[in-house]
Amino acid sequence: MKVMRRIPVTALEPGLVLAKTIFGDRGEVLLAKGATLTQGSIRALRRRGFRAVYVRDGLADDIEPIDVVSEHVRAIAVKRMHDLFAMVQHAARTSAEKGKQDLLLPAKWEKLWERLYRDIENIIDDVMEAETLDGLVTLKSHDNYTFTHSIDVAIGAIGLGKVIGLDRWDLHQLALSSLLHDIGKIYVQQEILNKPGPLTVDEWEIIKKHPEWGYETIRKMPIEEIFPKHVALQHHERQDGSGYPRGLKGSNKIARSLWERFSPDRILLVTEIIQVADVYCALSSDRPHRPAYPPDQAVAQMREMAGPHLNRELVTLFLRLVPTFPVGITVRVREGKWRGYRGVVSKVSPLAPDRPVVRILVDPQGEFVSPFEIDLQKEKEIQIASVFDLTTPLPDEE
């Protein structure tokens, strides 16, 4: 007996049923939610570089991961981002071949840009209605990582911007800057971006150039907004000044003096907001060189990075939005009355995102039990941790 869960593609078996739709790099549906997996579809997922999927096959199927933004809105935005990056990449190549300084964008650029604006409005609408950012990070393949990651970052940044009281215009600028922050990667070879092992010194030096490449690219784009190019340039700076490319610093605060706002040595607030969402989404996503961090470990990493790397006040607010244990994740009770039991998070309260309701399904011996729920807001002594699945024993349980 099994439950809906996130499992590695390498562990998939024919007959399992998808719990969440799988999208391609153009936002097209590769496998729809509810599809039964076959050997062929499993091989296709591996070829495309997917590391994990959500499946369901019986118990607790009523527990479903939450989407902050609807699948329809997200799919359209992914396609738009794919088309935008492809258009800019082609224009950059054509301009270089002709020795032109400006980007030679086609006439259809304006229509694509207008549509992207509408996509942003739809994303903002969905985020404004969400109480938490449960389900923020989506499944990604190697091919669509940059596009889907940028959309995840935009959603996270909008959510954080909403909390600190930014108005609609500011949220729009925040979203647009999020979508374009990694555009400099169009100049980086896919072999480097998708490398499964450690980068060489030379490869790392190429990667470190993408903020400057992004700045120069956006500067040449026919857009009025001023924030996107600066965010592209600054998004790898750090609070302690150890980032790149310019070694800018932050104050670890949201409020800032007039001097701090206009100082050329300081990171912009819009960049700091996007950095927080960017790092969380990167930690929570499968990458060629490592699997995604479990949600509770991603949160722990964020807390460690707050201060030297990320704006501490913004991280504190962001972690109130992001559940430590999202709906649908498999967890084990590590302390308290039900120690050793396992289950699935069934509900998260916006008031206590780190103390969810857990539906217990398996006893310490790995045997399925009659399901029951425990509310961690009420049972204060119980502590949980995320686990791979319901039945695989951990070293301290063997």
Instruction: Report domain extents, the chain.
Output: 5-56, 71-321, 330-397
Architecture of domain 5-56: Alpha-Beta Complex (3.90)
User: Please, are residues 65 and 20 in contact by the beta-carbon 8 Å criterion?
Assistant: yes
Residue 132 has pLDDT above 80, yes or no: no
Average pLDDT over residues 354-383: 92
Residue 1 has pLDDT above 50, yes or no: no
Of residues 3 and 118, more confidence is placed in: 118
For residue 344, what are its two tokens? 């699935």
Residue (of 312, 320, 389, 383) closest to 351 by Cα position: 320
Residue 380 has pLDDT above 60, yes or no: yes
What's the confidence (pLDDT) of residue 57? 56
Of residues 49 and 299, more confidence is placed in: 299
What's the confidence (pLDDT) of residue 260? 85
Q: What is the pLDDT of residues 71-95, one digit of tens each?
A: 888 888 888 998 999 999 999 999 8
Which DSSP symbol is given to 367? -
pTM listed for this prediction: 0.86
Name 386's Cβ contacts closer than 8 Å, sequence gap at least 6: 294, 295, 296, 297, 325, 329, 330, 331, 332
Which DSSP symbol is given to 397? G
Residue 355 has pLDDT above 80, yes or no: yes
Tell the residue number behind the tokens 């959309």, with chain if given. Answer: 151
For residue 277, what are its two tokens? 């969402």
Architecture of domain 71-321: Orthogonal Bundle (1.10)
Radius of gyration of the chain (CA): 22
What's the confidence (pLDDT) of residue 138? 66
Worst-scoring range by mean pLDDT, 183-187, 227-231, 351-355? 351-355
Cα 186 to its chain centre, rounded Å, is 19
Distance separating alpha carbons of residues 143 and 147, to the nearest angstrom? 9
